[in-house]
Amino acid sequence: MPKLVARCITISLDGFSAARGQALDAPFGKDGLRLMEWAFATRYFARMTGQEGGAEGLDNDFLVHSFDNIGATIMGRNMFGPQRGPWPNEDWKGWWGPNPPYHHPVFVLSHHKHSSFEMEGGTSFSFVNDGIESALKQAFAAARGKDVRIGGGASTVRQYLKAGLVDELHFVLAPKLLGSGERIFEGLDGLSDRYETAEYIPSKTVAHVRIVKKAK
């Protein structure tokens, strides 16, 4: 049965997955990109950005397999771009350039209307204005029997966790302190009643943790 999963969601030691002050030149907020240093060092990231080299090993493996059996992605508006409020125009196409790394349908949660569009490599973006369950229904239909992945950010992951809709969450615990920002694990009373830790795997740079729904 297809699942809703979140993978490679990076969290600081003090519990933040993004810093405050997101802007065009700061997609993870002010100094927030420090969280992703573990990923930037990998061979996967080097190839994705058209470079040579990069480290192989555990961190690289998790990134390589993060798209395994994924047929669609859901993300929040702040994951798609830095804009707030009504869309000023539809010129912005995301952080990723003309060929985003998804190569499947992506559904963006937004309170404001925006036209759907397609990009190179098979990635399409659709904007959902009627809630997380509607986005999930559309994403599962588009995935055609494959899993759906939550791409981020913190608020989107938190909403799906709170609703008990996430089947599996893999997060990366980075040895960084942000001090403030966006937390995933906040306001989730009863989470431990519904989820349990399935894996805790430290690498040389971070720790990979996977939590799953408890069997009924």
Q: For the whole model, what pTM was predicted?
A: 0.93
- 72 and 105 Cβ atoms separated by less than 8 Å: yes
Query: pLDDT, tens digit, for every residue of 13-26?
Result: 999 999 988 887 88
> Residue 8 half-sphere exposure, CB side, CA atoms within 13 Å?
20
Which residue range is the domain that position 198 belongs to?
Answer: 4-83+99-207
Cβ-count burial 36-46 (b if 16+ within 10 Å, e if not): bebbebbbbbb
| Residue 215 is assigned to a structural domain of this protein | no
pLDDT in the model for residue 204: 95
Q: What does the pLDDT read at residue 195?
A: 96
Q: What is the CATH number of the domain that holds 202?
A: 3.40.430.10
Residues of the chain with pLDDT under 50: none
Question: What is the per-residue pLDDT across 63-95, written as a single tens digit (0 to 9) for each?
Answer: 999 999 999 999 999 999 988 899 989 999 998
User: Is residue 91 in a domain?
Assistant: no
3-state percent breakdown (helix, strand, coil) of the chain, nearest 5: 25, 30, 45
Number of structural domains the chain divides into: 1
